[in-house]
A and B are shown apart, each in its own frame.
Chain A
Amino acid sequence: MTNDQQVVLITGARKGIGRFLAERFVRNGALVEGCSREMPDWSLEGYTHHLADVADESQVKAMMTSIARRHGRLDIVINNAGAAAMNHSLLTPVASVDRIFDTNVRGTFLVCREAARLMQRRRFGRIVNLSTVAVPLRLEGEALYAASKSAVETLTRILAREFGPLGITVNAVGPTPIETDLIRGVPSEKIQKIVDSLAIRRLGRFEDVANVIDFFVRPESDYVTGQVIYLGGVS
Chain B
Amino acid sequence: MTTLSIADRNAILALVTASLRDLYEQNGITADSEPDEGTYLIGRRALLDSLGLVTLIVDLEQKIEETFDVALTLANERAMSQKNSPFLTVGSLVDYICSLMNEQRSA
Contacts and interface: CB of A to CB of B under 8 A. Distances in A.
B58 interface: yes
A165 interface: yes
A95 B61 CA distance: 35
Q: Which applies to chain A's interface (DSSP): helix, strand, loop or mixed? A: helix
B74 to A, nearest CB: 12
A117 B62 contact: yes
B65 A65 contact: yes
A117 B71 contact: no
A61 interface: yes
A28 B100 CA distance: 44
A166 interface: yes
A120 B58 contact: yes
B55 interface: yes
Nearest to B62: A117
B103 to A, nearest CB: 18
Nearest to A62: B71
Nearest to A166: B55
A120 B51 CA distance: 12
Given A61-B71, A117-B58, A165 B51 contact: yes
Interface in A97-129: 117, 120-121
A117 B65 CA distance: 13
Interface in B52-85: 55, 58, 61-62, 65, 71
A61 B71 CA distance: 9
A120 B52 CA distance: 12
Interface of B: 51, 55, 58, 61-62, 65, 71
Interface of A: 61, 65, 68, 117, 120-121, 165-166
5 contacts: A117-B58, A117-B61, A117-B62, A120-B58, A166-B55
Given A165-B51, A166-B51, 10 more contacts: A61-B71, A65-B65, A68-B62, A117-B58, A117-B61, A117-B62, A120-B55, A120-B58, A121-B62, A166-B55
